[in-house]
C-alpha cells in the first residue's frame, strides 16, 4: 500500500519535473516569469487526449502536444517582443486565451481516456514493464530531456539564450537578436510544459479544462526547492536541481495530503511554499544576524 | 572609414522634456584614427556613440561605415562592424556565465549562432593566450563565473572581448571612469596596445583632458549636441589643457562645466 503511493508519487513527480524544466528555462535562464504555463499545460493534455480519443496514435498525439505548446510560447513571445506588452501581461493574455482554446480542443470540460491506448499502456507491453512501465518511461523521458536541455545550453545558440536573460544590452551589441532568443526560449519552455501535461493526462487517464490552474506557482516552487536543496554551482547541477525539485514538490504535496488536508487546499499550500521559499533567504539572514547580535551582547 | 552626416537626435519630442541631444553632428574618421571625445556633462557624447552603435533610431542624418550606410540597421546587425566598452564594468559581460563563455560569445560577434557545441580546445587555447597578455592571471580561471571578478578585471575582459574579433570601429565610453587610478591606467595601457596592434579606428570619450591630449591622434569637443572643435596634427601636439579650455570658451561662448573634469 505504502510503496504503491510512493511509486505513484514518484511517477507523477517525474512527469511534473518536465514542466519544471520548462519553467526553469523562462524563469531562471530568460529571467521571465511566464504565466502562459497554466494554459499550455492544459493545452498539452487537451491536445493529446482529444487526439487519442479520436483514434490517433498516442506517441504522435504526445509529440503534437509538444508542438502546440511551442506555438503557445511563440504567441506569448510575439506579444512581448513585437507588441511590447509586459512579460506578465503577455503570459496572462495567452493563458486566458488558451482557456477558451482548450475547451474548443476538448469539445467539453473533461475527457476520459479509460480503456484507451496511451503511451503508458503501449510501454507496459514491453517485457518486464507491466509494473514499473510508467516509472521507467517517465524516468527515461526526464533524463533524455534534461540531457538535451543541458547540451543545448552549451551550444552557441544556448549561450546566446542564456546571455539574453543575463545581459541583454551586451549580447545585442555582440550581434544577437534578443527578441528571437526570447521567442525561442518561451517556445521551448511551453513545449516542455505541454508535453508534461500530455504525460500527466495519459497517466491519470483524463484531462480536465482546469488541470493547469496554479501550474506556474507549482513550477516556481519546484525550481526554488530544487535549487536550495541541490545547489546551482553549474548549469548541469542546476538542471538536476530543478528536476529533483519537481519530484520533491510532489512528495511534499503527497505528505500533506496524507496528513488529512483536502486536495482543494493544495493551491494554498503551494503558494505558502513559494512565499516561504522567496522570503526565506532574507528571513534566514535576519535570524543569523539576530543570533549573532545576541551572542555579541552576551560577550 | 566612419562618416556621420547631419545627425539629429531629439529625446521626448513634443513634451516639455524635449531635448535635442544631437544637433547636426558631422564627423569623418580616417582608417586608424584614434579620436578622443571631450565635452561637458550632457554635451551629447554618449548619445552620439549610442547613435553610431544603433541603440535607438535617429531623427535625421546618415551614418556610413566604409561607404556602407548603416543608419537604419538595428544594433545587432551592426555588431560585425562595431564593438563597444561601456563605463559600467557590469554592463559589458554576462556575470552569471563563465569567462570562456563570455569570450566565445565575443569571438562569434556578428556571426550566426549555431546549434553546435560552443567551446572546443582550440578556442580554449586562444583564450588562454589572449588572457595571458592581459597579465591579470585570468588565463587559469576560464571556467570561473565573471561575477567573481573585480571591476578592473571585468573591464579588461570586456576590452579583450571587444577586440577579440577585430571591429571596424571601437567605441569606448569613459571605460576607465569607474576604476581606481591604478587599474584605470592598466586598462588604458591595454587599450593603447590593442588599438596599435590591430590598427583600430577608435572613438574614446573621456573626462580626463590630460588623457584626451595624450592618447590618440585627434581630439574632438562636443557642446550642446554639436562638434565644436576638432584638433589634430601640429595643433594638437602643441596643445595644452589651458589652451584647450580657452578654445572651448571661445567656440561655445560659455564656461566648460568642469565638475567631473580631470584637468591634470
Ligand atoms: N534616453 C534619454 N532620454 C531622454 N534624454 C536623454 C536620454 N539620453 C540622454 N538624454 C539627454 O541628452 C543629453 C545628452 O546626454 P549624453 O548622455 O549624451 O551626455 P554626455 O555628453 O554623455 O554627458 P556625460 O559627460 O555626463 O556622460 C542630456 O541632456 C541628457 O539628459
Ligand atoms: Mg556620457
pLDDT at position A296 = 43
pLDDT at position B253 = 76
In this prediction, residues A161-186 reach a mean pLDDT of 96
Nearest ligand 1 atom to the CA of B225 is: 14
pLDDT at position A95 = 97
Candidates 3.40.1020.10, 1.10.3720.10, 3.40.50.300, 2.40.10.10; CATH matching B2-81+167-263: 3.40.50.300
Q: B262: which strand partners? A: B208
Nearest ligand 1 atom to the CA of B87 is: 27
Using alpha carbons, list the distances in angstroms from residue A186 to A70, A179, A298, B115.
Answer: 8, 11, 54, 17
Given an 8 Å threshold on Cβ–Cβ distance, is B76 in contact with A176? yes
Asked whether residue A179 carries a pLDDT value surpassing 50, the answer given is yes
Pure H helices in B86-240: 99-107, 121-134, 151-164, 181-198, 209-214, 233-237
Q: B20: which strand partners? A: B10
Q: What ipTM does the predicted assembly reach?
A: 0.88
Among A152, A167, A177, select the one facing B94 at the smallest CB separation.
A167
**Per-domain boundaries in chain B:** 2-81+167-263
In this prediction, residues B8-37 reach a mean pLDDT of 95
A127-156 residues touching B, CB cutoff 8 A: 151-152, 154-156
pLDDT at position B65 = 96
pLDDT at position A69 = 98
How buried is residue A72: exposed, middle or buried, by Cβ count under 10 Å (0-12/13-18/19+)? buried
Asked whether residue A268 carries a pLDDT value surpassing 90, the answer given is no
Greater confidence, B261 or A171?
Answer: A171
Report the alpha-carbon distance of residue B95 to residue A152 in Å, rounded: 20
- The domain A2-298: what is its CATH number? 1.10.3470
Q: Is A31 on the interface with B (CB under 8 A)?
A: no
Cell match 584605470: residue?
A: B184
In this prediction, residues A220-243 reach a mean pLDDT of 93
Please report which confidence band the pLDDT of residue A1 belongs to, taking 50, 70 and 90 as the band edges.
low
Using alpha carbons, list the distances in angstroms from residue B64 to A175, B69, B130.
Answer: 18, 4, 31
Asked whether residue A284 carries a pLDDT value surpassing 70, the answer given is no
User: What distance in angstroms lies between residue B42's CA and the mean position of ligand 1's atoms?
Assistant: 5
Poorest-pLDDT segment among A152-161, B42-51, B241-250: B241-250
What tens digit of pLDDT does each residue of A24-33 get? Answer: 999 999 999 9
In this prediction, residues B238-256 reach a mean pLDDT of 83
Please report which confidence band the pLDDT of residue B261 belongs to, taking 50, 70 and 90 as the band edges.
low
In this prediction, residues A237-250 reach a mean pLDDT of 96
The distance of Cα B39 from the centroid of its chain, to the nearest Å, equals 15
In this prediction, residues A281-297 reach a mean pLDDT of 54
Poorest-pLDDT segment among A198-202, A239-243, B210-214: B210-214
Is the distance from CB of B224 to CB of B247 less than 8 angstroms?
no
**Per-domain boundaries in chain A:** 2-298
What tens digit of pLDDT does each residue of A62-112 get? Answer: 999 999 999 999 999 999 999 999 999 999 999 999 999 999 999 999 999
Given an 8 Å threshold on Cβ–Cβ distance, is A171 in contact with B77? no
The torsion angles phi and psi of B138, rounded to 5 degrees, stand at: -75, -15
pLDDT at position B259 = 58
Please report which confidence band the pLDDT of residue A295 belongs to, taking 50, 70 and 90 as the band edges.
very low
In this prediction, residues B119-128 reach a mean pLDDT of 95
The SS3 call for residue B151 is helix
pLDDT at position A90 = 97
Task: Give yes or no for residue B199 CB within 6 A of ligand 1.
Answer: no
A160-179 residues touching B, CB cutoff 8 A: 160, 162-163, 166-167, 169-178
How buried is residue B100: exposed, middle or buried, by Cβ count under 10 Å (0-12/13-18/19+)? buried
pLDDT at position A139 = 97
User: What distance in angstroms lies between residue B47's CA and the mean position of ligand 2's atoms?
Assistant: 7
The average confidence (pLDDT) of chain B is: 92
Report the alpha-carbon distance of residue A91 to residue A39 in Å, rounded: 9
Asked whether residue A299 carries a pLDDT value surpassing 50, the answer given is no
What tens digit of pLDDT does each residue of B61-99 get? Answer: 999 999 999 999 999 999 999 999 998 999 999 999 999
pLDDT at position A130 = 86
Asked whether residue A264 carries a pLDDT value surpassing 60, the answer given is yes
CA distance B91 to chain A (A): 7
Asked whether residue B149 carries a pLDDT value surpassing 80, the answer given is yes
Amino acid at each position: 500500500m505504502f510503496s504503491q503511493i510512493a511509486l505513484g508519487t514518484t511517477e507523477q513527480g517525474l512527469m511534473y519535473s518536465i514542466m519544471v524544466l520548462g519553467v526553469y528555462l523562462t524563469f531562471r535562464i530568460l529571467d521571465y516569469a511566464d504565466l502562459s504555463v497554466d494554459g499550455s499545460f492544459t493545452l498539452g493534455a487537451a491536445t493529446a487526449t482529444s487526439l487519442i480519443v479520436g483514434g490517433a496514435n498516442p506517441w504522435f498525439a504526445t509529440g503534437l502536444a509538444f508542438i502546440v505548446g511551442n506555438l503557445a510560447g511563440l504567441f506569448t513571445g510575439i506579444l512581448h517582443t513585437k507588441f511590447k506588452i509586459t512579460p506578465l501581461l503577455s503570459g496572462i493574455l495567452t493563458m486566458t486565451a488558451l482557456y477558451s482554446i482548450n475547451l474548443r480542443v476538448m469539445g467539453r470540460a473533461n475527457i476520459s481516456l479509460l480503456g484507451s491506448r496511451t503511451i503508458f499502456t503501449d510501454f507496459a507491453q514491453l517485457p518486464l514493464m507491466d509494473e514499473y512501465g510508467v516509472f521507467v518511461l517517465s524516468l527515461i523521458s526526464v533524463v533524455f530531456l534534461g540531457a538535451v536541455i543541458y547540451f543545448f545550453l552549451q551550444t552557441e545558440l544556448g549561450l546566446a539564450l542564456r546571455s539574453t536573460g543575463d545581459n541583454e544590452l551586451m549580447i545585442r551589441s555582440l550581434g544577437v537578436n534578443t527578441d528571437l532568443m526570447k521567442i525561442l526560449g518561451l517556445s521551448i519552455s511551453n513545449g516542455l510544459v505541454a508535453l508534461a501535461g500530455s504525460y500527466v493526462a495519459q497517466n491519470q487517464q483524463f484531462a480536465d479544462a482546469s488541470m493547469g490552474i496554479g501550474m506556474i506557482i507549482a513550477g516556481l516552487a519546484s525550481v526554488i526547492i530544487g535549487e536550495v536543496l541541490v545547489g546551482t554551482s553549474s548549469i548541469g547541477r542546476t538542471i538536476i536541481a530543478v528536476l529533483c525539485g519537481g519530484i520533491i514538490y510532489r512528495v511534499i504535496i503527497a505528505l500533506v495530503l496524507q496528513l488529512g488536508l483536502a486536495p482543494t487546499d493544495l493551491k494554498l499550500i503551494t503558494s505558502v511554499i513559494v512565499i516561504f521559499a522567496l522570503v526565506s533567504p532574507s528571513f534566514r539572514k535576519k535570524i543569523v544576524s539576530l543570533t549573532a547580535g545576541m551572542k555579541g551582547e552576551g560577550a | 572609414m566612419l562618416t556621420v552626416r547631419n545627425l539629429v537626435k531629439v529625446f521626448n519630442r513634443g513634451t516639455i522634456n524635449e531635448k535635442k541631444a544631437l544637433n547636426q553632428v558631422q564627423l569623418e574618421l580616417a582608417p586608424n584614427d584614434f579620436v578622443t571625445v571631450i565635452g561637458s556633462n550632457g554635451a551629447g557624447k554618449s548619445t552620439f556613440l549610442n547613435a553610431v552603435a544603433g541603440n535607438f533610431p535617429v531623427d535625421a542624418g546618415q551614418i556610413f561605415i566604409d561607404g556602407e550606410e548603416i543608419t537604419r540597421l538595428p544594433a545587432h546587425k551592426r555588431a560585425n562592424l562595431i564593438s563597444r566598452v561601456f563605463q559600467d564594468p557590469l554592463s559589458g559581460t554576462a556575470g552569471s556565465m563563465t569567462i570562456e563563455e563570455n569570450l566565445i560569445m565575443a569571438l562569434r560577434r556578428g556571426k550566426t549562432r549555431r546549434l553546435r557545441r560552443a567551446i572546443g580546445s582550440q578556442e580554449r587555447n586562444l583564450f588562454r593566450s589572449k588572457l595571458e597578455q592581459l597579465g591579470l592571471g585570468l588565463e587559469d580561471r576560464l571556467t570561473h563565473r565573471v561575477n567573481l571578478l573585480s571591476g578592473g578585471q571585468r573591464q579588461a575582459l570586456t576590452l579583450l572581448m571587444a577586440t577579440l574579433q577585430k571591429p571596424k570601429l571601437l567605441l569606448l565610453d569613459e571605460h576607465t571612469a569607474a576604476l581606481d587610478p591604478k587599474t584605470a591606467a592598466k586598462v588604458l595601457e591595454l587599450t593603447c596596445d590593442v588599438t596599435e596592434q590591430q590598427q583600430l579606428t577608435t572613438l574614446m570619450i573621456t573626462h580626463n583632458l590630460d588623457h584626451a591630449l595624450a592618447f590618440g591622434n585627434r581630439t574632438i569637443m562636443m557642446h550642446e549636441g554639436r562638434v565644436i572643435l576638432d584638433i589634430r596634427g601640429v595643433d594638437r601636439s602643441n596643445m595644452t589643457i589651458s589652451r584647450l579650455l580657452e578654445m572651448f570658451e571661445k567656440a561655445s561662448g560659455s564656461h566648460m562645466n568642469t565638475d567631473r573634469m580631470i584637468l591634470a
